[in-house]
Every structure is written in C-alpha cells, then in structure tokens.
Amino acid sequence: MSLNVKTVYPTGILDSTKADYFRQTINQLLAEEADVILINLKDVTFVDSSGLGTLVVVLKQVRSLNRKLYLCSINDQVKMLFNLTSMDKVFEVYEDEETFLDAVLPSS
C-alpha cells in the first residue's frame, strides 16, 4: 500500500490574513484522501502567533483523521519561534523535502 502524500508550499508571511486560505488548502487535501501532508515552509519569511495557531489547528485536524502532518525547510525565525513555544516538540520537522522523503517514504 502506497501513501498518498501531498505537499503544500505557503509563501510570504503566515499570519491571520492567510489563515483561512491555508486551512481551506489543508481541508482540500484531506478531502482528496491525503494520508500524509507535508508543509514546505521554504518560501515563508515570517510566522506570527496567528500563523502558529493555524499550524496547530491543522495539525489537530489532520491527527483527528488518523493522518500525518510534517513540516520542512523552516527558516531561523520559525525555528526560534518553535523553540520558544515548544512547538519543536509538537511538530515533526525535517531539514528539507528530500530528508522528509528519505525518512517517511524509504525506498524498498
């Protein structure tokens, strides 16, 4: 059985102005039966408290459906925010997409 993996590429600032669109995107992927969702933050320049809250909400939503959510390619600002809020213990974060694929979808 192969996993249905979908990747999201948000850009810019992840804050309250993008929260609804971001949640809708995740909802769409869940409706498409995604087993695993990877949020690649390589093009996100800043995450504020609203953006962090949105990430937590979608994580809870994905987990409630017994699916998985991962993050990758976070910048130094996001790393600091995750460390300060202990979100680094809540989210599973990978260095980049390749590292994620190697870890989560090992080749047979």
For position 30, what pLDDT does the model report? 96
For position 107, what pLDDT does the model report? 64
Reading the chain (108 residues) residue by residue, the pLDDT tens digits are 588 999 999 999 999 999 999 999 999 999 999 999 999 999 999 999 999 999 999 999 999 999 999 999 999 999 999 999 999 999 999 999 999 999 988 664
User: For the chain, what are the domain ranges?
Assistant: 5-99
To the question of domain 5-99 being in CATH 3.30.750.24, the answer is yes
For position 108, what pLDDT does the model report? 46
Strand partners, 93: 71
For position 2, what pLDDT does the model report? 80
| DSSP one-letter string for 58-97 | HHHHHHHTT-EEEEE---HHHHHHHHHHTGGGTS-EESSH
pTM confidence score: 0.93
